[in-house]
Structure 1
Amino acid sequence: MTKSYSDKSVICNDSANSAFSEVSQLVELSVSRRNLLTGTGAAAAGLLLGGLPQLASAAAAGKTLKPLALGFSAISLSESDTVTVPAGYRAQLVNAWGDAVGIAGNMPAFRQDGSNSAEEQLAQSGMHHDGMHFFPLPYGSQSSNHGLLAINHEYTDDGLLHPDGMKTWTAAKVRKAQAAHGVSVIEVKKNDNGWQQVLPSKYARRISTLTPCRLSGPAAGHALLQTADDPSGREVVGTLNNCANGWTPWGTYLTCEENWNGYFVDWSNNMKPQGFNAKRYGVKESDAGYRWAEHDPRFDAQLNPNEPNRFGWVVEIDPYHPDSKPVKRTAMGRFKHEGAAVAIAPDRRCAFYMGDDERFEYIYKFVTARPYNAKDRKANANLLDEGTLYVAKFNADGSGEWLELTHGKHGLTAENGFRDQGELLVKTRLAADHVGATKMDRPEWTTVNPHNQGEIYCTLTNNSERGKEGKPGPDAANPRANNLFGHIIRWLEAGNNPTATSFQWNIVVLAGNDKAAKEEHKGNIKGDIFGSPDGLMFDRNGILWIQTDVSTSTLNKKEYSGMGNNQMLAMTPQTGEVRRFLTGPRGCEITGIAFTPDHRTLFVNIQHPGEPDSERNDPANPKAISSWPNGALGGRPRSGTVVITRDDGGVIGL
Structure 2
Amino acid sequence: MSNSPTKAYLDEPLREDCPSPHFNEVLAVRMSRRQLMKGSMAAATATLFGTTLTACVSDSDNDTPAVETPAAPGFSEPKLGFQAVAVTRADTTTVPAGYTATPFLPLGTPICGTYPEYKPDGTNTGAEQEQQMGMCHDGMHFFPIGGSSTHGLLVMNHEYIVQPVLHANGATTVGGIRTVPDEVRKEIAAHGVAVVEIRSTAHGQWEIVRGAYNRRITGATPMAIRGPVRGHEKVRTKYSPDGTRTRGTLNNCAHGYTPWNTYLTCEENWAGYFVNKTGRPREHSRYGVATSSGRYRWETVAGDEYERFDVSVKAASASEDYRNEVNGFGWVVEIDPFDPDSTPIKRTALGRFAHEGCVYAPVVEGRPVVFYMGDDSQNEYIYKFVTRANYSAATANGSMLDDGTLYVARFDADGSGRWLALDFNNADFLAACLAKGVSFSDQGDVLLNTRLAAATVDATPMDRPEWGAVHPHTGEVYFTLTNNSSRTVADAANPRAPNPYGHIVRWRETGNDAAALSFEWDIFVLSGTLTDSGKLGDATQPLGEDAIHASPDGLWIDPNGILWIQTDMSGSQQGSGPFGENQMLAAEPATGEIRRFYVGPREQEVTGVITTPDGKTMFVNNQHPGDRSTPGNFTSNWPDRPQPYTTVDPSGPRPRCATVIITRNDGGVIGL
Equivalent residue number for residue 166 of structure 1? 171
Q: Report if aligned partners of 1:129, 1:640 keep a CA contact under 8 Å in 2.
A: yes
Offset, 1:648: 1.1
Equivalent residue number for residue 276 of structure 1? 282
Q: Distance in 2 between matches of 1:208 and 1:517?
A: 40
Offset, 1:595: 1.2
Correspondence list, 1:383-398, <5 A: 383-398=400-415
Q: Report if aligned partners of 2:41, 2:590 keep a CA contact under 8 Å in 1.
A: no
Identify the range of structure 1 (307-316 vs 283-292) with the bigger mean alpha-carbon deviation. 283-292
Offset, 1:313: 0.1
Offset, 1:611: 1.2
SS of residue in 1 equivalent to 2:20: coil
Q: 1:101 to 1:476 in 2, by over 3 A?
A: farther
Equivalent residue number for residue 404 of structure 1? 421
Task: Identify which of 423, 433, 443 aligns with 2:455.
Answer: 433
Q: Distance in 1 between matches of 2:234 and 2:607?
A: 34
Offset, 1:305: 2.3
SS of residue in 2 equivalent to 1:432: helix
Offset, 1:465: 1.2
Equivalent residue number for residue 128 of structure 2? 120
Offset, 1:199: 3.8
Task: Identify which of 113, 116, 119 aligns with 1:111.
Answer: 119
Equivalent residue number for residue 273 of structure 2? 263
Q: 1:645 to 1:332 in 2, by over 3 A?
A: same
Correspondence list, 1:20-419, <5 A: 27=28, 43-44=32-33, 46-47=35-36, 49=38, 54-55=54-55, 60-63=69-72, 65-103=75-113, 106-137=114-145, 141-168=146-173, 169=178, 170-192=180-202, 194-268=204-278, 273-287=279-293, 289-295=295-301, 296-303=306-313, 304-346=322-364, 347-376=366-395, 379-409=396-426, 410-412=428-430, 416-419=438-441
Q: 1:479 to 1:434 in 2, by over 3 A?
A: farther
Task: Identify which of 512, 527, 532 aligns with 2:528.
Answer: 512
Offset, 1:523: 8.1
Partner amino acid for 1:27? A
Offset, 1:197: 2.7
Q: 1:62 to 1:120 in 2, by over 3 A?
A: closer
Q: Report if aligned partners of 2:468, 2:479 keep a CA contact under 8 Å in 1.
A: yes
Q: Distance in 2 between matches of 1:502 and 1:340?
A: 20
Q: Report if aligned partners of 2:103, 2:659 keep a CA contact under 8 Å in 1.
A: yes
CA deviation profile, 1:202-239 (whole Å, cap 9, x unmatched): 11000000100100001111001111221111100100
Q: 1:320 to 1:444 in 2, by over 3 A?
A: same
CA deviation profile, 1:304-347 (whole Å, cap 9, x unmatched): 32111110000000000111000000000000001001113433
Q: Report if aligned partners of 2:532, 2:542 keep a CA contact under 8 Å in 1.
A: no
Q: 1:652 to 1:243 in 2, by over 3 A?
A: same
Equivalent residue number for residue 669 of structure 2? 651
Offset, 1:285: 1.6
SS of residue in 1 equivalent to 2:575: coil
Partner amino acid for 1:297? E
RMSD value over aligned CA atoms?
2.7
Partner amino acid for 1:80? A
Q: 1:113 to 1:265 in 2, by over 3 A?
A: same
SS of residue in 2 equivalent to 1:114: coil
Equivalent residue number for residue 602 of structure 1? 618
Partner amino acid for 1:370? A
SS of residue in 2 equivalent to 1:505: strand
Q: Distance in 2 between matches of 1:172 and 1:636?
A: 20
Q: Report if aligned partners of 1:102, 1:198 keep a CA contact under 8 Å in 2.
A: no
Q: Distance in 2 between matches of 1:235 and 1:285?
A: 25
Which runs of 5 or more structure 2 residues have no equivalent in the other structure?
A: 43-53, 57-65, 314-321, 643-650
Equivalent residue number for residue 618 of structure 1? 630
Task: Identify which of 513, 516, 539 aligns with 2:558.
Answer: 539
Partner amino acid for 2:157? N
Q: TM-score, normalised by structure 2?
A: 0.86
Offset, 1:452: 2.1
Equivalent residue number for residue 319 of structure 2? none
Q: 1:406 to 1:173 in 2, by over 3 A?
A: same
Q: Distance in 2 between matches of 1:517 and 1:336?
A: 28
Q: Distance in 2 between matches of 1:8 and 1:20?
A: 20
Task: Identify which of 603, 607, 620 aligns with 1:591.
Answer: 607
Which runs of 5 or more structure 1 residues have no equivalent in the other structure?
A: 29-38, 468-472
Equivalent residue number for residue 484 of structure 1? 500
Q: 1:521 to 1:475 in 2, by over 3 A?
A: closer
Q: Distance in 2 between matches of 1:486 and 1:517?
A: 10
Equivalent residue number for residue 8 of structure 2? 5
Q: TM-score, normalised by structure 1?
A: 0.89
Identify the range of structure 1 (126-135 vs 199-208) with the bigger mean alpha-carbon deviation. 199-208
SS of residue in 2 equivalent to 1:416: coil
Partner amino acid for 2:28? V
Task: Identify which of 469, 481, 486 aligns with 1:447.
Answer: 469
Offset, 1:284: 2.0
**Seq. identity, %:** 49
1:497 and 2:509 are equivalent in the alignment:
no
Offset, 1:241: 0.2
Q: Distance in 1 between matches of 2:469 and 2:27?
A: 28
Q: Distance in 2 between matches of 1:234 and 1:634?
A: 47
Offset, 1:291: 1.3
SS of residue in 1 equivalent to 2:286: helix
Equivalent residue number for residue 36 of structure 1? none
Q: Report if aligned partners of 2:204, 2:662 keep a CA contact under 8 Å in 1.
A: no
* Number of residue equivalences: 614
Q: 1:230 to 1:356 in 2, by over 3 A?
A: same
CA deviation profile, 1:580-612 (whole Å, cap 9, x unmatched): 100000000001111111111110001100112
Offset, 1:495: 0.6
Q: Distance in 2 between matches of 1:190 and 1:196?
A: 4
Q: Distance in 1 between matches of 2:78 and 2:341?
A: 43
SS of residue in 2 equivalent to 1:422: helix
Offset, 1:492: 0.2
Q: Distance in 2 between matches of 1:76 and 1:21?
A: 31
Partner amino acid for 2:269? N
Q: Report if aligned partners of 2:356, 2:374 keep a CA contact under 8 Å in 1.
A: yes
Q: Distance in 1 between matches of 2:137 and 2:590?
A: 32
